[in-house]
Amino acid sequence: MRASAFVYPWDVGGDPEAPARIAGLGVEQVTLAAAYHSTRALTPRHPRHRVVTAEYAAVLYPPGDRWAGRGLRPYPAGRWAPGNAYAEAAEALAAAGLEVHTWVVLAHNSRMGAEHPDTSVVNAYGDRYPWAPCIAQPGTRAYLTDLAAEAAVRPGARGTELESLGWYGFQHLHAHDKTAGVPLGEAGQYLMSLCFCPSCRAGYGEQGLDADTLATAVRRALEPLWRGTADDTGWPTVEKLLGEEPAAATRAWRDTTARTLQEEVVAAVRAAAPSGFRVLLHADPVSYHCGANAGVDPAHILSVADGVVVPCAGGTAALAPFAAEARRGTVLAANLTVVTGMGGSPGTLAADAARARAEGATELRLYHAGLASDEDLAAVRAGLAAR
């Protein structure tokens, strides 16, 4: 199976040995960040630094003229990826014989939430989630669509992988995160991720729901969770707590909102891209799930995009719903964590790849070539050689 490693531009810029090291892993491709959220990252082998702090969500190239005069616009990166860091890294990686695809993070942007708080998801208690732009808002949708078209189609890129193209709710590894005291479970995550901004309140109305009544019902449904007495079985619990019809109405609004945005974004990327450019989404096969791997309906998303990147760090079961809807040429990429310190298991890569293939995977994604130790990378080389 074809394999690609995730890479940041700062893993490559200033390290002349990085391209050959990555190519030497046995991957054919790199998925290189072009637009990324704030993060703090180790760089274990870089000759100039060991820690990179990306202070805010940014594009890793100079943003184009389309943003002139617009309130919502991407920001160029600071000192962690100055100038056209993406292009410099992409050129060096391509010279090492690697096919370069872009990695674009969309609805995950704390700077947007800080500077434009009205764009954020608002929960049933009135709390804003500054890291989570509400994808129902027209201005946000226009921003995300244009950002995807620009960041995905960088010169020389052969395809893109779009992350966070859907609802980004409560779950988030925020700075010094202190939210683990009450396990939320799937139902709790969904209820805490329901948005009550003006756009979503109007959307619930279109589904026959009164937003104030719904917010009261959500707060009431969450009370057992705060007391530690909740019995969470996922969607059946949401239906039990809200009622089947109101629960279905909230999901109809959110599913339709996400689907139409995904259609618009993929269409915009295709319009800007050359022939043969591949468009993949980081995706979860359960449509009400939120996060970087957007919840989708497998049949729908595979009718829109060329394929999906599916998280498989905890097993390969999530591949099966996509495999059932795959057609000829569909890309099903199993995303495997190969950083031991982040819970990955690079030593079992060959076996994990075989299991993923049996579940329908056609390609591998390895997270993350820049973050892994030398020992992890040695295990990756061995695992890929044994494919």
Within-domain flag for 238: no
pLDDT digits (tens, 9 = 90+) for 142-156: 999 999 999 999 999
In a domain, 196, yes or no: no
The two tokens of residue 301 are 């998303």
Q: How far apart are CA 98 and CA 19, in angstroms?
A: 8
CA end-to-end distance (rounded Å), the chain: 7
Whether residue 12 is contained in a domain is answered as yes
Token digits of residue 118: 């009205």
Crossing angle for the helix pair 211-227 and 185-193, nearest 10 degrees? Answer: 140
CA distance 100 to 222: 45
223 lies in some domain: no
Rounded CA-CA distance 64/194 in Å is: 34
The parent domain of residue 94 ranges over 2-178+254-385
Q: Taking a C-beta distance cutoff of 8 angstroms, is the pair 119, 140 a contact? A: yes
Q: What percent of the chain has pLDDT over 90?
A: 93
User: How does residue 232 score in pLDDT terms, banded at 50, 70 and 90?
Assistant: confident
Mean pLDDT along residues 336-343:
96
Are 10 and 81 contacting, i.e. CB atoms less than 8 angstroms apart? yes
Tell whether 220 is covered by a domain: no
**For residue 357, is it within any domain?**
yes
Other Cβ atoms less than 10 A from the Cβ of 176: the count is 4
Question: What's the CATH number where 58 sits?
Answer: 3.20.20.80
* Per-residue pLDDT at 126 exceeds 80: yes
- Looking at the structure of the chain, the number of domains it has is 1
In a domain, 221, yes or no: no
- The Cα–Cα gap between 132 and 193 comes to 10
CA angle 369, 372, 375 (to 5 degrees): 120
Is residue 174 over pLDDT 70? no
Question: Residue 138 falls within a domain, yes or no?
Answer: yes
- Whole-number pLDDT of residue 176: 63
Q: Across residues 198-211, what is the average pLDDT?
A: 98
